[in-house]
A and B are shown apart, each in its own frame.
Chain A
């Protein structure tokens, strides 16, 4: 949103350092997130921010993304035309409430339609050990 791409981050109180990040290949991941009681998943909103020529935010769209603990994207939602501010995850991680909608984590697998790779050439996620 502000030049540098934003990611979800894990900071360690023990070391005082950043230990892991959860990113999307192209979008900022910020505004809101939630974790399940089992700590098995992290959920965030990957946002694309559209600004006018003066830098004012005109529109924010994006999708809800679910990562597993190592930082792999395991689920995602369809595109939302607006900013999703609050996400709530059930303790067992099977249910997500966001954008006035209750979601279940369907087990149906599909192949990703977007390319994977590193950031420059596209990693779908980035893990900093």
Chain B
């Protein structure tokens, strides 16, 4: 019996590795409710039922947040996003809290994040990241300042935001949904935001205790002393580990590998 099973497995392996039985699923497109505008951001709820999207409508210069039920394709609710620091044409970023109660929303280059309460579908808190900074700086075309990346922990009520300032460098902000406030922020030095061949990004461990960041160096090569993958303690901001990958990094995500 065991011999037969081994033989079957060996046959399957040979078929697979020789390509004879190589098979893939085709991704199936599902229709969304027709609406004007371009979707500039999307996020799934933790229960896999809802898809939140931001639609940017050039005709009325308005961005709208829509929540859809993916099982039916129907819209559950929508609201206009009223935030002056979010440029309508910029890329937006969204992420649900681990319990699905809150939806964190921001836009590239903005200096604020909006926390939507998904039960009442209204803004629970507007969190300004640099309340004392002069807003003029971000208006200059060569002085980009603002959000680059956003993430939430999948098993904790913690969120993180990565910002860039041409003069002051990059900063990490850690906050919690329970306090609806930033609890810790620290600078991680210079680095670019994104380019055609790379992207600076932040992601959190499932428990939110660690935050990983990928940073683009100033040039098109990674300098010898430049660690472009970094791991920090979310509570203290202390560096835990650094890696120089040798090549520029696009998007990145931190996750714990499980045995398979």
Contact = CB atoms under 8 A, between A and B. Distances in A.
Question: Do these two chains interact?
Answer: yes
Counting chain B residues whose Cβ lies within 8 A of the other chain, the interface size class is 35 or more
A31 interface: yes
Interface in B136-179: 154
Contacts of A90: 44, 48, 51, 70
A82 interface: no
B257 A74 contact: no
Interface string B29-69: 11110000011011110101001010000000000000000
A95 B30 CA distance: 10
B258 interface: yes
A96 to B, nearest CB: 6
B28 A106 contact: yes
Given A33-B253, A95-B44, A102-B32, A107 B260 contact: no
A76 B26 contact: yes
A34 B93 CA distance: 14
B27 interface: yes
B131 interface: no
A108 B70 contact: no
A114 to B, nearest CB: 9
Contacts of A59: none
7 contacts: A10-B257, A37-B154, A74-B25, A75-B24, A95-B70, A102-B31, A116-B18
Given A90-B44, A91-B46, A112-B23, 7 more contacts: A33-B250, A33-B251, A35-B253, A39-B256, A90-B48, A96-B27, A101-B29
Interface of B: 18-19, 22-32, 38-39, 41-44, 46, 48, 51, 53, 70, 73, 91, 154, 196-197, 212, 229, 231, 240-241, 243, 245, 250-251, 253, 255-258, 260
